[in-house]
Amino acid sequence: MIERLRRAYYAEQYHPGVLGLFINPFFLARRSLWGAIASFAGHLHGPLLDVGCGSKPYRSLFAVESYVGLDIDSEVARQRGVADAFYDGKRFPFPDAQYQSVLCNQVLEHVFQPEAFVQEIWRVLQPGGKLLLTIPFVWDEHEQPHDFARYSSFGLRALLERNGLRVLEQRKLLDDFSVLVQLAIAYFFKVSRSRSRLLNLVVCVVFFAPLSLLGLLLGRLLPRNPDLFLDQLVIAEKPMR
């Protein structure tokens, strides 16, 4: 029973439904991100490499012949026991053109040498292969001290194209009033966080859930602002030779 509750709680952190509204302070952000990845998942085929896979939270969205998780070689990643291979920070441990698809979700901001990183993605992709990449634009520092960058839509496109990838589509996520609500919730989440899990849950139910509902409503009613957004998603391709 406890294990089932733990799995349900974990699922609501990345794919929040009604329950997630009450237990996930990042409901708006994670709901948007899951929906965007799901809508583009059909672009990825064949053997897929999940770069910076973490716990593989989006694995269920991809109907591919093989799904390989790559993570930075660290004690935390090895203890997690989810990654299939580890990255030394310089070179992916795979031969050239091994994968038809690459997923890179909320990772690039933690990469100190982005040019070399994108070149490695290009190297392991087959010609005609696709990259699905997401990255935050407006967000607080996280996973300190390994948080190094934020990219505008223009900066991200330039980085990918400069390293041999052709951007096919680019989407801005939460480019409406809900971005301000999610940022406000993130602020209160950090300043109110306590050691008591029960108290944290009460704050989420009583305070964050109504704010998230308000964000959903005002995000629909008020005009969008494409210059201010929470995350962005890109589909890019390694051109055929």
pLDDT digits (tens, 9 = 90+) for 68-95: 999 999 998 999 999 999 999 889 999 9
Token pair 């698809």 in the structure block, residue: 101
Query: Which tokens belong to 72?
Result: 């930075």
Distances (CA, A) of 145 to 71, 109, 137, 149, 231: 17, 12, 18, 12, 20
pTM: 0.93
Q: What tens digit of pLDDT does each residue of 151-180 get? A: 999 999 999 999 999 999 999 999 999 999
Write the DSSP symbol of residue 73.
Answer: -
Q: What is the pLDDT of residue 6?
A: 78
The three-state secondary structure class of 86 is strand
Q: What is the pLDDT of residue 98?
A: 97
Q: What tens digit of pLDDT does each residue of 24-62 get? A: 999 999 999 999 999 999 999 999 999 999 999 999 999
| Phi/psi of residue 94, nearest 5 degrees | -140, 155
Q: Which domains does the chain have, with CATH numbers?
A: 2-237 (3.40.50.150)
218 pLDDT band, cuts 50/70/90, is: very high
pLDDT for 113 beyond 90: yes
